Amino acid sequence: MKNIIIAIDGYSSCGKSTLARQLAKELNYHYVDTGAMYRAVTLYLIQNQIDIHHPEMVANVLNQISIAFDFDEATQTQITLLNGENIENQIRINPRVASAVSDVSALSEVRRFLVKQQQELGKNKGIVMDGRDIGTVVFPTAELKLFITAEASIRANRRLEELKEKGQNTTYEEVLANLAKRDHIDTTRADSPLVKASDAIEIDNSNLSKDEQLDQVLKLVKGLQMNGNG
């Protein structure tokens, strides 16, 4: 069967990465979490005290940033490396990253820098990539485009659980407010705002279990592969 590109877009904390990871495992595809790449750039800018409100200063340091992914077989998780250092934990729990990442990802210089790398990662297909602009900008010709949504309260609760599991002490209200802020910036920025591609299939997973969602999507993938569209 031919390899295809699966592009998954949607709001923050909709379970995109869970679905992407499941699909990659099931299909033996590579998974790329593009949000992690924007988080890695954000962490670098924070660590090096680069003012994100000066795009020219940000642009000047991008060539010092190298992002790579490793896979931890023991825990079956992807590890993001920034200039060779494992930053997976930091980019997930550092509140400064969470609050600055949407502003950083609104910068055209940063987007151009990362989109080029994402396109390179997908050039051999056999890839599941999740983010906000994958079906619209990174891979506009992807064979399968999914747009994932879920109710805001459900997303906030899921994110709260995730943070608690990682030992972060936060409240439902804080998480909900952070999600609302990120959604607003992601959907209203001038460069590649989050929008559903016209040919994307929308899945609202508010009332779906992870496995039900996976089954639905696997049927779509199999259909594409059998029809020879892959």
101 binds ligand DC (CB under 6 A): yes
Q: Which is nearer to ligand DC, 132 or 221 (CB)?
A: 132
Token reading at 168: 């972060």
- Amino acid sitting at position 118: Q
> Does residue number 139 form part of the binding site for ligand DC (CB under 6 A)?
no
| 186 is a contact residue toward ligand DC (CB under 6 A) | yes
**Closest distance to ligand DC from the beta carbon of 8 (Å):** 10
CA-based nearest residue to 111, from 5, 199, 17, 186: 186
Token pair of 181, please? 């802020």
Interaction between residue 131 and ligand DC (CB under 6 A): yes
Least distance (Å) from ligand DC to the CB of residue 53? 17
Q: How far apart are CA 9 and CA 196, in angstroms?
A: 8
Size of the site for ligand DC (CB under 6 A): 13
| CA 216 remoteness from chain centre | 20
Backbone angles phi, psi at 33, to 5 degrees: -95, 100
Q: Which is nearer to ligand DC, 168 or 225 (CB)?
A: 168
Residue 38 binds to ligand DC (criterion: CB under 6 A): yes
Give 71 or 229: the residue with its C-beta nearer to ligand DC. 71
88 binds ligand DC (CB under 6 A): no
**Cβ contacts of residue 40 below 8 Å, gap of 6+?**
65, 67, 80, 82, 87, 91
* H or E element, residue 134: none
Query: What is the smallest separation between the CB atom of 113 and ligand DC, expressed in angstroms?
Result: 12
- Other beta carbons within 10 angstroms of residue 201's beta carbon come to 15
Measured distance CA(230)–CA(224) in Å, rounded: 6
Nearer to ligand DC, 102 or 213 (CB): 102
Q: Which of 4, 23, 30, 35 binds ligand DC (CB under 6 A)?
A: 35
Contact residues toward ligand DC (CB under 6 A) are: 12, 34-35, 38-39, 101-102, 105, 131-133, 182, 186
